[in-house]
Amino acid sequence: MDRIYQTRLWVTAALAAFFVGLSYELKSFAPSLSAFPSIFLAAIAFLFGSGLAQFVVKVLIDSKRVRRFLLGSAWIEGYWFVETKKVDGEGNPLKYPGILYLDYKASKGMLKAVTTRFDADDKEYTVVSQVAHARTDDDFIQYLNYFKLTSAGQGERHGLAFGEFVNNSDFTSFPTKMLGKISLEGEDQIKEQTARRISDKKARELYEQYGDNWMKEVLHSNGSLAFS
């Protein structure tokens, strides 16, 4: 998400500089302003430009399409089909595949990750990030996610997931696969995870077909519905 932060800084600096420069030009067109010190007008212009920039950036970054354009090859938002390798025990929620949803919350300036799982009895397990971060200034997009896992009647557990998103397709310019590891509170092993991107188009089609139960249908099909 570094490109979003950089865009915010560049827009703020550009608009602030524009209005500071404009404040000096206005004195020649409006004689009444000559009574005010130039530094005072520049300060007012800087504050106005900075405030306007924050508003403009917020409106732009609130748009998923704009974020996708800004991030380009580093865009990881959307739905992912997640599988955890070599999980023992029927009661372990990581045994079941999940659907991870990544979303950038512009109002908080942070990445949010939510993973939904269902066991064989349709009990739902939800993993919600408490601190999620993606580093996008390298060839690989590295991520770190400190999360809380909850389920009805079983309280909550915490865990840590980390890894990287990679592009393994010649037909897209953004990552389509995730390779990572996950550790859950109360366990002494770090397990491998993989994930495949579910296209936005496919997610919409599944929602139109199954409604709010589309994730459950995909998970019960072991992902085949999402990639057919």
Give the chain's mean pLDDT.
Answer: 78
pLDDT score for 215:
95
Q: How far apart are CA 19 and CA 29, in angstroms?
A: 15
> Would the pLDDT of 96 be above 70?
yes
- Fold classification of 74-226 (topology level): Lipocalin (2.40.128)
- 47 and 66 Cβ atoms separated by less than 8 Å: no
Q: Which tens digit of pLDDT belongs to each residue from 2-46?
A: 565 666 666 666 666 655 565 555 555 555 555 455 555 556 656
- Least Cα distance to 202 among 130, 99, 58 occurs for 99
pLDDT bracket for residue 115 (50, 70, 90): very high
Average pLDDT over residues 219-223: 93
Domain extent listing, the chain: 1-62, 74-226
Q: Which tens digit of pLDDT belongs to each residue from 62-75?
A: 777 777 777 777 78
pLDDT bracket for residue 137 (50, 70, 90): low
The residues pairing with 162 across neighbouring beta strands, listed in sequence order, are 144, 181
Least confident of 37-46, 109-118, 164-173, 203-212: 37-46
Q: How far apart are CA 174 and CA 58, in angstroms?
A: 24
Tell me the whole-structure pTM to 2 decimals: 0.73
pLDDT score for 195:
94
